[in-house]
Amino acid sequence: MNRSELSQLIRKKQSFLCVGLDTDITLIPPHLLKCDDPVFEFNKAIIDATHDIAIAYKPNLAFYESRGLKGWQSLEKTMNYLAQFKNEIFTIADAKRGDIGNTSKMYAKTFFEHLNFDSVTVAPYMGEDSVTPFLEYKDKWVILLGLTSNKGSSDFQFLETGNGKLYETVIRKAQQWGTADQLMFVIGATHPEQFKSIRALAPDYFFLVPGVGSQGGDLDKICENGLNAQTGLIINSARQIMYASKGEDFAQAAKAEALKVKQAMGKFLAPL
Amino acid sequence: MNRSELSQLIRKKQSFLCVGLDTDITLIPPHLLKCDDPVFEFNKAIIDATHDIAIAYKPNLAFYESRGLKGWQSLEKTMNYLAQFKNEIFTIADAKRGDIGNTSKMYAKTFFEHLNFDSVTVAPYMGEDSVTPFLEYKDKWVILLGLTSNKGSSDFQFLETGNGKLYETVIRKAQQWGTADQLMFVIGATHPEQFKSIRALAPDYFFLVPGVGSQGGDLDKICENGLNAQTGLIINSARQIMYASKGEDFAQAAKAEALKVKQAMGKFLAPL
């Protein structure tokens, strides 16, 4: 999916909500545990209930890998299921990968060829040659960590590096590697005060914004400071939607939560 | 495996060689392709030929994940096979993971519980709470990226951060999170001139050193500047050993290459 298609999708659905699929088998409704593949059944029900409201899904790789082969099977089935929504859903592999060139190339193959994701999150510490192998795929995306939502973001990302803080240096430098048609940045919702200056630093780039909901980010402030002409924001919500209910009504409860976020987004989107 | 056991193992084997298992199905000897699981058969033969010479094996996750379920099966079989060398071999998951706390916890579960690795490589960009979930396992290790071997290491790792370069700040700060019994650092062999100052910064910590061999690092210089009283170095070699021959003699050729590295290490180790 290219940038113009993504912007059109947002306008069509009047939403820039991404639903995180951090599917934890110990947190899903107990009645699903009798299924052959409870994680896939859970994801399928969440997708069925929310695919008209969300523009993206973001499986978190750790939750699948921690279950080994079974987890990979659930992930592959989820990606195969999402394939039916090809032009209606943007897919994000939340994997935080990044390694020397020949290894990043293998990770790119994993996520873009084998699992057919539209995008993958990548960590910047190892620099250009750890990122560029992911940029060689047409209409596929790198979502590079810029300023993350967690407490530990203060350990290194805010260090002064002579020409701005480390996260600013990362965002500035990475724009030499990939255009706004190939590259997005992860900017955590827990730093609303930084959104204005980050938007000024990367006016045309999409930001994937985790941390709204359970982590406490404020949607209104993020939108006021982070939107651009193509919207430029994908807001992720995981736990708040996925685990809205532990009962048999979990998918309906997830839909209701997703609708609340979509409605909160409405005032920031031009009407159709 | 704890630090004292690791040091004893090095002394016993008179080697601090780690063999990388970056097993690429397009590079292994063609006669293996007729096996059910060519990647596992290759790994098994390499392990059989080198386990007396190497003290560690380091499967590179990207090479397994890029083959999806089949790749995970090869990895699980390799780890099951290595289990027979429990006190003779240290295992490293080269995965470069790191995410918010609840996600890092899942990755720790993947590598330490599900796959039963002794250690995992972790990227530092997201800070303390992305690293500490891995440190909660007794006698398991985090190997944190310090100064990496690739060209892109110059993009951010050498930035001046007020109190030294970024990689120095990472190495200094991380010692507040984990002791030398829990934490090691990745220090690339392509930066021999930095080893002396990095050793001064972290006198007791083990360094995992990639980049000797194909990437051009100089073993003698690394040893002269990087060794400590417990040796403190694990030198990784992958392609040079794994792909020493593409013929039916590949395992013998790998053994010969491994022996060469071991012999080069001999002069730096106290005799038994």
Residue B270 exposed, middle or buried by CB count within 10 Å (0-12, 13-18, 19+): exposed
Q: Which of residues 126-165 of B touch A (CB under 8 A)?
A: 126-131, 145, 148-157, 159-162
For the stretch B140-182, pLDDT in tens is 999 999 999 999 999 999 999 998 999 999 999 999 999 999 9
Using a CB-CB distance cutoff of 8 angstroms, which residues of chain B are in contact with residue A100?
148-150
Taking the CA of residue B11 and the nearest CA in chain A, the distance in Å comes to 31
Q: How far apart are alpha carbons B270 and B272 in whole angstroms?
A: 6
**Phi-psi map region of A127: left, alpha, beta (phi>0 left; psi -120 to 50 alpha):** left
Among A65, A142, A242, the strongest candidate for a mutation testing the B interface, having the largest count of B CBs within 10 A, is A65
| Radius of gyration, CA atoms only, chain A | 18
Q: Classify residue A110 by its DSSP letter.
A: I
Catalytic residues of A: 96
% pLDDT > 70, chain B? 97
In sequence order, what are the residues at sequence separation of 6 or more whose Cβ sits closer than 8 angstroms to the Cβ of residue A8? none
pLDDT range class, residue A214, cuts 50, 70, 90: low
Q: Is A72 on the interface with B (CB under 8 A)?
A: yes
Question: Which residues of chain A neighbour B104 with C-beta distances below 8 Å?
Answer: 62
Q: Mean pLDDT across the stretch B11-19?
A: 97
Q: What is the mean pLDDT of chain A?
A: 96
Integer angstrom CA distances of residue B71 from A22, A114, A118, B60, B132 = 22, 11, 21, 11, 28
Please name which of A72, A24, A68 lies closest in space to residue A46, comparing C-alpha atoms: A24
Looking at CA atoms only, how far is residue A78 from chain B in angstroms? Answer: 14
Mean pLDDT over B107-131 rounds to 98
CB spacing of B125 vs A145 below 8 angstroms: yes
To the nearest whole Å, the CA of B252 is away from the closest chain A CA by 25
**Cβ pair B139, A99 in contact under 8 A:** no
pLDDT in tens, A174-209: 999 999 999 999 999 999 999 999 999 999 999 999
pLDDT higher at A113 or A271: A113
Cα separation, B23 vs B33, in Å, equals: 13
Confidence of residue B212 (pLDDT cuts 50, 70, 90): confident
Letter string b/e over residues B237-249, b meaning 16 or more CB atoms within 10 A of that residue's CB: bbbbbbbbeeeee
With CA atoms as reference, the chain B residue closest to A215 would be B100
pLDDT digits (tens, 9 = 90+) for A14-47: 999 999 999 999 999 999 999 999 999 999 999 9
Residue of B nearest to A108 (CA): B66
Q: Which of residues 78-107 of B touch A (CB under 8 A)?
A: 94, 96-104, 106-107
Complete domains list, chain A, with CATH: 3-266 (3.20.20.70)
Question: What's the confidence (pLDDT) of residue B216?
Answer: 65
Predicted model pTM: 0.97
Nearest CB to B129 within list A22, A113, A151: A151
Q: Residues of B with CB below 8 A from A112's CB?
A: none
pLDDT reported for residue A212 = 84
What residues of chain A lie within 8 A of the CB of B149, using their CB?
100
